[in-house]
Amino acid sequence: MKLLMSPPSPFARKVRVLLREVDLLDRVAEQQVSTSPLASAPDALAANPLGKIPALLRDDGPALYDSRVITRYLNDLAGAKLYPDSSLYEVLTLEATADAIMEATVAMTYEVRLRPEAQQSDDWIDAQWAKAARAIAAIDARWMSHLHGPLNMAQIAVSCALAYVDLRHGDRDWRDGNDALAAWQATFEARDAMQATKP
């Protein structure tokens, strides 16, 4: 199998961390693809009609896309327990919250990098950051207990989302007022799989 990915993508990083945590690197090769909403790479378009990454090319079926679909598939393939039955819907909700942080902050990045300066909207950027900031604060206030205990996909997703904020929007200082989450992230991002996938 082959994973179409780009190292800075937080969505791709979720999958790349999972591959390392459940020992699937010998079964899934990583192929770096340079793609954007304005210029989709042919490989990405062939795998996903939206041209987005990550996409997982399989030998025995059509390509899978959307990071949450890929992570569920690989979790099952490995016989892992990153989506435990006992807290499945909590893990899925927290993973969705992390993905929403990624979506908002990637949109902020695209606004600055892909639109001409005269067309950029500070209001749009601020609105996207408000979404991300509310989600980060909600995790700190209500979800910390779910970030502890055996490894699950919500933990990976949250850490990848926060690391992307640091990468592209470090001046926003998400740690301010989110002390518990900041302390957790300092520990989690030291994991070998996180360090190996750091863009």
Q: Where are the domains of the chain?
A: 2-78, 85-196
Q: Which two tokens stand for residue 149?
A: 């205990």
Mean pLDDT of 111-133: 95
Query: What distance in Å separates the CA atoms of residue 164 and residue 136, rounded to the nearest whole number?
Result: 13
Mean pLDDT of 79-97: 98
Query: What distance in Å separates the CA atoms of residue 61 and residue 40, rounded to the nearest whole number?
Result: 23
Kindly state the percentage of the chain with pLDDT values over 90.
Answer: 98
Mean pLDDT of 157-171: 98
pLDDT of res. 75: 98
Mean pLDDT of 60-67: 97
pLDDT of res. 110: 95
pLDDT of res. 136: 98
> Average pLDDT over the chain, rounded to whole?
97
Amino acid code (one letter) for 67: S
Residues 2-78: name the CATH superfamily.
Answer: Glutaredoxin (3.40.30.10)
Distance of CA 75 to the CA centre of its chain: 16
Quick one: fold of 85-196?
Glutathione S-transferase Yfyf (Class Pi); Chain A, domain 2 (1.20.1050)
pLDDT of res. 79: 98
Q: For residue 113, what are the contacts with CB-CB under 8 A and spacing of at least 6?
A: none
Kindly state the percentage of the chain with pLDDT values over 70.
Answer: 100
pLDDT of res. 41: 94
Residue 62: count of CB within 10 angstroms of its CB: 9
Instruction: Mean pLDDT check: name the lowest of 38-42, 159-163, 179-183, 192-196.
Output: 38-42
pTM reported for the whole predicted model: 0.97
Mean pLDDT of 30-55: 94
Mean pLDDT of 162-187: 98
pLDDT of res. 135: 98
